[in-house]
Amino acid sequence: QVQLQESGPGLVKPSETLSLTCTVSGYSISSGYYWGWIRQPPGKGLEWIGSIYHSGSTYYNPSLKSRVTISVDTSKNQFSLKLSSVTAADTAVYYCASGIITVFDYWGQGTLVTVSS
């Protein structure tokens, strides 16, 4: 069974870089079609952050593009998110998700990241 688990600091200071990792189990990340990140501010809806395809191509939300980097580490079966110059508006639950059969078919449990000094 495919499982995804996010990990990383739960508290980030303003202007710093948010870094999260998604560890995939039950499936080889190098076989997946694509992998992505989505976030959800407390009490609000879902926002797509970006995706990385098996080809290495990346696609980012234009609203975040200048600050986002998504990468894959096949040796660790992980993919990562970096979001720079964070502000309080970046406080959210961050989810990683897979695209094995279709778009965002499996999701991690999510991790809350709070931006505060």
Partner 1 sequence: DIVMTQTPLSSPVTLGQPASISCRSSQSLVHSDGNTYLSWLQQRPGQPPRLLIYKISNRFSGVPDRFSGSGAGTDFTLKISRVEAEDVGVYYCMQATQFPRTFGGGTKVEIK
Walk across the sheet containing 18-25 and list its strands. 3-7, 18-25, 78-83, 68-73
Mark the segment that binds partner 1 (CB under 8 A) among 13-21, 75-83, 84-92, 104-112.
Answer: 104-112
What is the DSSP code string of the chain? --EEEEES-SEE-TTS-EEEEEEEESS-TTTSSEEEEEEE-TTS--EEEEEEETTS-EEE-TTTGGGEEEEEETTTTEEEEEE-S--GGG-EEEEEEEESSSTT-SB---EEEEE--
Which of 78, 86, 106, 115: binder of partner 1 (CB under 8 A)?
Answer: 106
Q: Which of 59, 77, 82, 84 binds partner 1 (CB under 8 A)?
A: 59
Nearer to partner 1, 6 or 80 (CB): 6
Give whichever of 35 and 60 is closer to partner 1, judged by the CB atom: 60
Q: Which is nearer to partner 1, 14 or 67 (CB)?
A: 67
Q: Which stretch binds partner 1 (CB under 8 A): 14-22, 23-31, 56-64, 72-80?
A: 56-64
Interface contacts to partner 1, rule CB under 8 A: 36, 38, 45-48, 51, 59-63, 95, 101-110
